[in-house]
Every structure is written in structure tokens, then in C-alpha cells.
Structure 1
């Protein structure tokens, strides 16, 4: 199964082609081609070209795709909707399923499977406004979150390791795991059971967790 993976929930614009085998297993799926651009202001400009570059590198066309997996956040409003809208458009045009997954879950999967982290894990990413998006994991499974909170109001315990945005990881007195953003393989791994089972994907619902930064002035004239 050839899966397109997309995530724009962090400053990184991530896309990749991932091959998912039918037999399962705990190893991460195989990445065929991937592109990551670290630019919080370039999501709309670079995402579709990145996808097309991945297809060209793999010698594939869009019609070779079997499914799409997209990170649904939590993330800032503008960046997050770019990835979700692009994934939905590709899925609609190709008539293939689009599965949404929590972007923090993908970071945790990379920590668990690529770095063999078995201890309780805290994942944090930049929520702006001096806040973080966060979730806790135990044994590779999410046990709390996702939520948004100021770092000073988020206790490190009971977590014993941390992953995510380096600037925000540094605010916690925990050993860091070298995983900063969702990878294409981890995004697909989060949805792997549903993909293999042919499960009908749930509607795509973004995890904004709060209202957008931009609001219409209350006294704006018609």
C-alpha cells in the first residue's frame, strides 16, 4: 500500500510517500521519498510542490496512491488548515481515503519505535502566545491530552522523557529525545491499523484547541 503522509501542524512542512506492508509489525513503515521544509510562513507555497517532488523521485503518479494520512494538529490555525485542505483535495480528486491523526501521536511513535523510548513521555510543540500544545504517553499510548497550556502550568511529572519543539523542550527539566516534528513514517504508523483494515476514515476535524489569533474587529462597518 502506497500512502501519502502530510503534516503542517508545526513550523515544519512535512510530506512523504510511505509504503505500508500488510503483515503489520512494530517497525516503522518504509519511507519511499520525503521532503521537510522548516518555514512557518511557507506552508501554502511549498506543500504541493513537495508532494509532487516526492512522487517524481519515487517514479509514481498521484493515481498510484492508495490512501492519505494527514496530521490534524494540534497546531496554529493558518498552517494546520493548509495541510488538511491539501490532503482533502488530493483525496477527493483521486477517490481515496484520507485519515487524520494527532500530530503529537506521530512524534511519540518516532520516540517509541525509532529511539526505543519505553518510559513515560511528554510531547510538546509550539502553540505561540508563550504556550505549548502537549500530550503524555505511557508504553507508546497517549494517556493525557492533547491540550494547550503555559509551560509554567504544565508539570513535568509523571513523565520522565520529553520530545518535540527544541525551544520548548528546553523549558522542562527532563532528558530530551531527538524527535522534533512528525515524520511521514510515524504519521502512517499511527493510522496503520485502520489503513490495513480498510476502515472508513472519520471526518477530518482540526485540533485547534483555541480560537484563531486573527479576529474580526468588533466595530467594523459593513
Structure 2
């Protein structure tokens, strides 16, 4: 199966082409902003290096978050546009699931894994696994609540993601893997294994956006509050 991978959810911008688990081309750079300007060029270059046409793709995979609001929208819009144009299925992959899968691709098999993304404001986006079995859905947790969950997993837990350093001291003996984003190899494996009907390319938001819509239109008078 030939897949095009798109990841712009965190601080990486990645476009990659895989065939049957082998990388044909990978374009990936650390990037906190500017994904919109670079992603199309990355896809173009990756496809050119892979030496195949877009019509040779079988599936498109894209990270759906949690992550940067703007980055997510860029990646999802791009992937959905390509999928519609090529009439190919678009598969959405959780960023947290892909981070956890990246540990396995590093040939590490810990008893417990916590995928953690720094969500700012004293929070992390988190998901937990014990012996390869996921323990509940992705959540937005305070640092204190996340530390308690890690303590319940016990010593030797592996923490992966940008939120890992924030909780490095929560569990004695924890292994910290501060990855800026999922590995393309892990994404490729998850995209191929996914059922497109069960993994739609829809954004995963775990808390309300920081920005809120205005309470009045431009030029509209302010509502007077009577005492």
C-alpha cells in the first residue's frame, strides 16, 4: 500500500511517502509556525523523490490532534482536499497515539507509556498505555492530575512528547523521550492498519480554543448594563 502522510499538528511539518512500510521519501523540519507556507512544497518534493504520481497513492494519512489549532487546520484541510481530488480515503490519526507508536518503532517495549503534549496553562494533553493496552481516552489534564495518573502506572514508565519533561520528576525512574512530533514510520504503520470508516479526518480538540468570538459586530453599540 502506498500512503502519503501529512503531519502539522505539533512543532514539526512533515510530508512523507511510504510503500508497504518502507519510506520512499520524507520531508520533515522543526516548525512552530508557518506550516501553511511550507506544507505544499514538502508534499511536492516528497512525491518527486518517491518517483510516483499522485494517482498511484492508495491512501492519505493525517494527524488530527490534539495539537496546535492552526497547524491542525492546515494539515486537515490539505489532506481532505487531496483526498477529494484523488478520490482516495483520508485516515485521521491521533497525535498521542502516533507518539506512543513512535516508542515502539524505536524498538523499546516499556511496561507503561504516557504520551504527553504540553498544552500550556499548566496542562498537558495525555493518554496512557499499560502493556500495550490503552487506558481510557485522550484527556486534557492539569500537571497535578497527570502526575497522579503517572504514579498509578508505577516506576519505569516511558514518557513521550513535548509534555514529557514537565512531568519527568513525577515518577522515579521514568524514561523521558522529548519528541517534537510522531515518527513518520509510526504514522505509516497506523495509517495502513486503520479502517478509514472508523478513523475519519476530524480534528480532536480536548479543550475550548483560547480565542473566543466577539460578542458584538463591528459598529454595533455596546450593551449597557443597568444597575
- Which band: TM-score by shorter chain? 0.7 to 0.9
CA contact (8 A) 2:158 2:177 kept: yes
For residue 203 of structure 2, the aligned residue among 188, 201, 206 is 206
Distance in structure 1 (CA, Å) of the matches to 2:210 and 2:96: 21
Please tell me whether the aligned partners of residues 19 and 31 of structure 1 are also in contact (alpha carbons under 8 angstroms): yes
Q: Alpha-carbon deviation of 1:204?
A: 2.2
Q: Which structure would you say has the larger RCO, counting Cα contacts within 8 Å and 6 or more residues apart?
A: 1
Report the Cα distance in structure 2 between the residues aligned to 1:140 and 1:52, rounded to whole angstroms: 36
> In structure 1, the residue corresponding to 2:138 is in which secondary structure?
strand
Where does residue 35 of structure 1 map in the other structure?
27
1:17 aligns with 17
> How many residues end up aligned between the 2 structures?
209
| Gap regions ≥5 residues in structure 1 | 21-28
Measure the CA separation in 1 of the matches of 2:72 and 2:114. 21
- Structure 1 residue 138: deviation in Å? 2.1
Q: Distance in 2 between matches of 1:141 and 1:102?
A: 16
Query: Once the two structures are superposed, what CA deviation does each residue of 1:164-183 show, in whole Å capped at 9, x if it has no partner?
Result: 11xx3122222213644112
Normalising by structure 1, we get a TM-score of: 0.86
Residue 126 of structure 1 deviates from its aligned partner by: 2.3
Name the residue aligned to 2:48.
56
Distance 2:183 2:40 in 1: 17
In structure 2, what is the equivalent of residue 163 of structure 1?
160
Alpha-carbon separation, structure 1, partners of 2:180 and 2:30 = 11
The match for 1:187 is 187
Moved more, 124-133 or 46-55: 124-133
Q: Which runs of 5+ in 2 are unaligned?
A: 221-227
Q: Is the CA contact (8 Å cut-off) linking 2:115 and 2:161 kept in structure 1? A: yes
Q: 1:186 to 1:141 in 2, by over 3 A?
A: farther
* Secondary structure of 1:214's aligned partner: coil
SS at match of 2:9: coil
Larger radius of gyration: 2
Residues in 1 aligned to 2:208 and 2:56: alpha-carbon distance in whole angstroms: 37
CA distance in 1, matches of 2:216, 2:83: 40
